[in-house]
Structure 1
Amino acid sequence: MAKIYFTLTGTKYYYGKEFLKPGITLQLKKEPNNKYDKEAIVVRMEGLGDIGHVANSTHTVIGESMSAGRIYDKIGDTAKAKVVMVTEHGTICKLCKKSMVDHKRKNVEEDVSE
């Protein structure tokens, strides 16, 4: 499975980005009731809480990283990620493989339980 990168954005509305360094572990949580974006994914850091969101706009996604809409169905309600690079335009993070939903396995489990 290919590595999935995304852009962390909106940090200026929380604590800024000066504390973010490569290797830091982050938690992602879907926000289905977000009034601005039905595919919103909030990004949290242990000890701080919410620090931003997964970018979901062509204006905030950096390069070939994925938007929240493109990873929304690839993760469960929560997921983990690591900071890869901090730039002046945003922070690039990598989704942890263990956070990925295995749709093939999920379908097999649903077939067995029926």
Structure 2
Amino acid sequence: MYITIQSFDKLHGSKPLKLDGIVKLVKEPSNKYDTEAIACEMRHFGKIGYVSNSVNTVIKGCMSAGRVYDKIDEDYFAKIKFIAGSNAIAKILTLDEYEEELKNPESDIHYLLEGD
């Protein structure tokens, strides 16, 4: 599954976005604007934006936050595959891909798990 990440370009610009960067996906059911909101967090930056949930912002071929929301746990991970300005397309990690990331001691996934 691929998702569009709308980053907070006013806070960080495209600086946190890097190819193959690990993004932690965190559901925000109490978000006052969208009960299907999924925040995106990265090492060194914290929250960098949200998974797009509008037909106007979801890049073609990607799933919206609403379509992904019930398919992931409270905290999940994705890997950035494409970057376009302050937006990115990320692939949600499968269980096998997640376990492979855990084998890499240099992976940002270890730092993002520390908050759990």
In the superposition, the TM-score normalised over structure 2's length comes to 0.77
**Cα distance, 1:89 vs structure 2:** 6.7
Question: For residues 19 and 59 of structure 2, what CA distance do their matches in structure 1 show?
Answer: 17
Partner secondary structure for residue 64 of structure 1 = coil
Q: Compare 9-18 and 66-75 and name the one that shifted more.
A: 9-18
In the superposition, the TM-score normalised over structure 1's length comes to 0.78
Of 68, 72, 95 in structure 2, the residue corresponding to residue 98 of structure 1 is 95
Of 60, 72, 76 in structure 1, the residue corresponding to residue 73 of structure 2 is 76
Mapped pair 1:14 → 2:17: no
Question: For residues 12 and 6 of structure 1, what CA distance do their matches in structure 2 show?
Answer: 18
Of 47, 51, 54 in structure 1, the residue corresponding to residue 48 of structure 2 is 51
Partner secondary structure for residue 72 of structure 1 = helix
Q: Compare 7-16 and 21-30 and name the one that shifted more.
A: 7-16
Residue by residue over 1:25-78, the C-alpha shift from the partner in whole angstroms, topping out at 9 and shown as x without a partner, is 110100000000000000000221000000000111001100000000010001
Question: For residues 49 and 69 of structure 1, what CA distance do their matches in structure 2 show?
Answer: 22
Unaligned runs of 5+ in 2: 97-116
> Are the counterparts in 2 of residues 27 and 44 from structure 1 also a CA contact under 8 Å?
yes
Unaligned runs of 5+ in 1: 100-114
Question: For residues 54 and 82 of structure 2, what CA distance do their matches in structure 1 show?
Answer: 19
Matched residues, percent identical?
A: 41
Mapped pair 1:63 → 2:60: yes
**Cα distance, 1:95 vs structure 2:** 0.2
> Greater CA radius of gyration, 1 or 2?
1
Backbone CA RMSD of aligned residues: 1.6
> Are the counterparts in 2 of residues 8 and 52 from structure 1 also a CA contact under 8 Å?
yes
Of 66, 76, 87 in structure 1, the residue corresponding to residue 84 of structure 2 is 87
